[in-house]
Structure 1
């Protein structure tokens, strides 16, 4: 989400308003990279004794909202601590990730008053409902950039296209070019194009299209050998990906490890992510 300046029917502590005097609320964000996750550390600084007391008494709470619009990932973290840490699997984030800090009412406050209200509100009190925003601590945006050759990005080594002949036929695969070509019938290609506009469904598409394609590819390599394919872009990309798992793409590996396992390792366990995407479709990943 993006914090948008808006008018509230009651005073809100924010650096974009003068509703409070001698008060402030801000956050500092530190992001570090783990093995397969990003680690968010949010440090909150509140200068207003009455709001601090409300948090201590359980009448209000700190709320951190983290959202990635590209992957449709969203999480809400609620806490009474000023240091908040959150680990998020890297595959759930891509592009711009926004982190917003708030303080919200944890319960109904029928007569909210703060001694640091601006003089314009002198002697006034306000009825706040549970969930109403009391303070806004700002927004920080970070960029998450995946490796260009990451297999989970279909355009890197796969081309998915429509069959030139307008027939209802099964999926076809061609591995003789620089990219692996997946050919779909007109109806299936139309459904594929529709689903590519839903980033949260990409793991499902990978499991349905890319996994069978990679199984076919590894079986081909096993039966025909690797020499005719080693200079192709898709082969080098798969080879680099498997090296991250300490696996060397050669005849010995193709014979010793089932093609289905090799396909999963190449895409970083896409079946698990596909099931997770289906299980969480149309719901927010919220934490109490």
Structure 2
């Protein structure tokens, strides 16, 4: 839900306009996660005496709107109190969640006016409908992940598919979505699919197919002037969380991304060589 710089038919206390002057509206939102639930602790504050008056009379309320594009979850949580809590089931959210905080009209208000209105609105009042926005805080994002450590299950961020292009490369990838799509030529995909049935060969496939792509992603992140361009993608959030858990700072890292990539997925090269050695011995 994009609310920045939106035009309203009445003055709104916001961070992007001077409709209401010399006062502000601020919120904070903390969350903890249990096994099945996110618990949010909300705190709201406005220095507008008149808005506080509407809140005290329950003509206005505080509100947090949640919207998750991955799961299509949308819900508004409201309260007349400055501090309140609410819960969301963990399976309702995944990936990037947009959160907007408001003060909303809790009922119709015939002659809405604030003494803090800009001088252009001096002497004017407005007809407000229930649900209309009276104040907006800065939009924020929250990233929800259903797995504690998704990189332990590689398919959670990588998907291997066949490429049907006539001039398909042996291996290529697309990182423009929540999952990184690894594309193999038809022949290579058939071989990959056949070999993937064997648990014994998983480290080898990881080294040949997943690791090179992971190294490329790490180099992309490290060389990017603005990593925020990847913020919307789940694969980036997973990799960033894994790096943080291992105290690896890509910007100041002196190791090659080949070394970092192997650390993230548990040294698949050694496991692959062990697997090949076992096959040779059995033969």
SS of alignment partner, residue 138 of structure 2:
strand
Which residue of structure 2 lines up, in the alignment, with residue 32 of structure 1? 32
Aligned equivalents of 2:16, 2:158: Cα separation in 1? 47
Deviation at 1:4, TM superposition (A): 3.0
Deviation at 1:129, TM superposition (A): 1.4
1:82 and 2:69 are equivalent in the alignment: no
Deviation at 1:137, TM superposition (A): 1.8
Retained in 2: the 8 A contact 1:68–1:96?
yes
Which residue of structure 2 lines up, in the alignment, with residue 60 of structure 1? 60
SS of alignment partner, residue 53 of structure 1:
helix
Aligned equivalents of 1:70, 1:60: Cα separation in 2? 31
Which residue of structure 1 lines up, in the alignment, with residue 169 of structure 2? none
Which aligned segments of 4 or more residues in structure 1 are displaced greater than 6 angstroms? 156-161
Retained in 1: the 8 A contact 2:4–2:16?
no
Which residue of structure 2 lines up, in the alignment, with residue 123 of structure 1? 123
Retained in 1: the 8 A contact 2:13–2:24?
yes
Aligned equivalents of 2:111, 2:4: Cα separation in 1? 26
CA offset digits 1:163-212 (Å, max 9, x no partner): xxxxxxxxxxxx94449xxxxxxxxxxxxxxxxxxxxxxxxxxxxxxxxx
Q: How does 1:1-288 map to 2 (within 5 A)?
A: 1-145=1-145, 146=147, 147-148=149-150, 176-178=197-199
Deviation at 1:17, TM superposition (A): 0.8
Retained in 2: the 8 A contact 1:29–1:140?
no
SS of alignment partner, residue 138 of structure 1:
coil
CA offset digits 1:16-75 (Å, max 9, x no partner): 111112211111121222232222112111111111111111211111111211111122
Retained in 1: the 8 A contact 2:150–2:156?
no
Stretches of structure 2 that go unaligned for 5 or more consecutive residues are 163-195, 203-283
Residues 32, 123 of structure 1: alpha-carbon distance in 2 compared, 3 angstrom cutoff: same
Aligned equivalents of 1:77, 1:4: Cα separation in 2? 20
Higher relative contact order (CA 8 A, sep 6+): 1
Provide the TM-score with structure 2 as the length reference: 0.52
Retained in 2: the 8 A contact 1:63–1:102?
yes
Aligned equivalents of 2:127, 2:28: Cα separation in 1? 30
Retained in 2: the 8 A contact 1:150–1:156?
no
RMSD: 2.9
Aligned equivalents of 2:131, 2:113: Cα separation in 1? 17
Aligned equivalents of 1:150, 1:34: Cα separation in 2? 20
Deviation at 1:156, TM superposition (A): 7.8
Deviation at 1:159, TM superposition (A): 8.7
Residues 128, 156 of structure 1: alpha-carbon distance in 2 compared, 3 angstrom cutoff: closer
Deviation at 1:95, TM superposition (A): 0.8
